[in-house]
Amino acid sequence: MPAAVSEHQDAIALRTSRPQSLIFTIYGAYSRSLGGWIAVSSLLALLREMNIEDNAVRSALSRLKRRGVLLSEAHNGFAGYALSDSARKAFDTGDARVLERRHPEEETRWILVAFSIPEKSRDLRYRLRSRLTGVGFGQVTGGLWIAPASLRADAELAIDTLGIHQYVHLFEADHLESDSTGAGSTDEGSVQQWWDLDAIEKKYEQFIQAFSQLQQAFESGEEPVSPENAFRNYTRILTAWRPLPYIDPGLPNSHLAPNWKGRTATELFFYFNDLLAESAQEHVRKSVDSTLQFTKDVN
C-alpha cells in the first residue's frame, strides 16, 4: 500500500505530520458541523489514528489557545476546545477559497489595497503585509498591494481582524496600458513582478508528486475507501492543500502557462475531496460520539 505522502516530499511530509496543522484542519473541516466544539478526549483519539502522540496534541492545543484560534470550554463535564469567533469567520471565508473550484475571469478587475500606517504602529504595517501576502496579494509598492477583485473578502477580513480601517483604502480598478491597443489588459512583466509564479507552481508540483500515487491506489482498489482510511488520508491531503489556494491569487488563464501545474493539482485535490470528504466527516462524527460515550461509561 503506497504511503499517502512521498518520503522525498519533505516540506509536505513535515506539514502533514505537525499536530498543530492537523488540529487546525480537523477544526476547519469537521468541527463546524458538530457545533464548533470537540472534547479533548475525542481529539486525542482522532490524532492517535494519525500516529500523533497525546503530549504533542496537548501542546499544540495550548499553542492554538494562546493564538486565539481555540477557546477552552467544558461541555457536560467534558474538557474541550471550541473555535473562537475570529477563527470560525476565517474558516467560513476560507471555504470558498479552499473547498470550491475557482473559475477566474479571462479579463479580470483588480482590487488595490492602499495603506499608510504611522511609524509608531510599524508592527501593524508588518502584520498587514504578512496577511496580504498570505492570501495571495502582490506588492506594487510598499503601501500599495494588488490582487484579482475576487480576493476582496480576504482583504476585508485581514483589515477587520487587525482593526486598521483608518489607515487603509480599498479600490477596484482596471489596468490601463498607455498604448491604446492594450487598454484593459495587464502585461506579463507586471504580473511576474507582483507574484513569483515559478515558486507557486513548484508548490503545486510538490502536491502532485506527493499524492498522485495515492490516487492511482484508490482507483485500482488497492487503497480502500473505508471511513477510517478516508479520515486519515483526507485530513493529510487537506492539510497539504490548504495553503496552496492562498498563495495562488487566481490569475486569469491568459497570465498562466498552458501547462500550469495549478490546474493538475486542483483536479487531483478535488478527486480526493469528492471521494473522501463525506466518509471522513462521518468517521469523525462517530468517533466523537463513541469517545464521549466511552468516557462517560468509564466515569
Q: What's the pLDDT tens digit per position in 266-294?
A: 999 999 999 999 999 999 999 998 766 54
Sign of CA dihedral 5, 234, 207, 28: negative
CATH class of 1-101+197-299: mainly alpha
Phi, psi of 115 (to 5 degrees): -145, 150
* 102-194: CATH, from 3.30.360.10, 3.30.450.20, 3.30.300.20, 3.30.70.240: 3.30.70.240
Q: Which amino acid is at 45?
A: A
Residue 113 DSSP class? E
Question: Is the pLDDT score of 246 beyond 50?
Answer: yes
Residue 232 pLDDT greater than 90, yes or no: yes
Query: Would you say residue 179 has pLDDT above 70?
Result: no
Can you give the pLDDT at residue 188? 66
Handedness of CA 185, 186, 187, 188 (dihedral sign): negative
Q: What share of the chain in percent tops pLDDT 90?
A: 70
Domain boundaries, the chain: 1-101+197-299, 102-194
Instruction: Give me the pLDDT at residue 278, please.
Output: 96
pLDDT in tens, 15-39: 899 999 999 999 999 999 999 999 9
Which is it for the CA torsion 254, 255, 258, 260, positive or negative? negative
185, 188, 190, 192: CA torsion to nearest 10 = 140
pLDDT of 10 reads: 77
Residue 39 CB coordination number (10 Å): 21
**Secondary element (H or E) of residue 169:** strand 168-173
Average per-residue pLDDT for the chain? 88
Backbone angles phi, psi at 145, to 5 degrees: -125, 155
Pairing of strands 144-148, 78-83: unpaired
Report helix, strand or coil for 165: helix
CB of 262 closer than 8 Å to CB of 256: yes
Residue 183: predicted pLDDT: 45
Shared fold status for 1-101+197-299 and 102-194: no
CA dist 86 and 107 (Å) reads 33
**pLDDT for res 132:** 95
pLDDT greater than 70 at residue 3 = no
Please calculate the CA angle 293-296-298 and round it to the nearest 5 degrees. 110
Of 106-120, 238-252, 265-279, the one with minimum mean pLDDT is: 106-120
Helix or strand run (H / E) with residue 268: helix 261-298
- Check pLDDT > 50 for residue 4: no
Tell me how far apart the alpha carbons of residues 42 and 290 are, in angstroms, rounded to a whole number. 9
In this structure, the chain runs to a length of 299
Element (H, E) at 114: strand 110-115
Average pLDDT (125-141) is: 93
Average pLDDT over residues 230-234: 97
Residue that is written with C-alpha cell 492511482 in the block: 216
Using alpha carbons only, give the angle 259, 261, 262 rounded to the nearest 5 degrees. Answer: 120
* Burial (CB count within 10 angstroms: exposed 0-12, middle 13-18, buried 19+), residue 61: buried
**Which of the four pLDDT bands, split at 50, 70 and 90, describes residue 187?**
low
Query: What confidence tens digit (pLDDT) does each residue in 40-55 have?
Result: 999 999 999 999 999 9
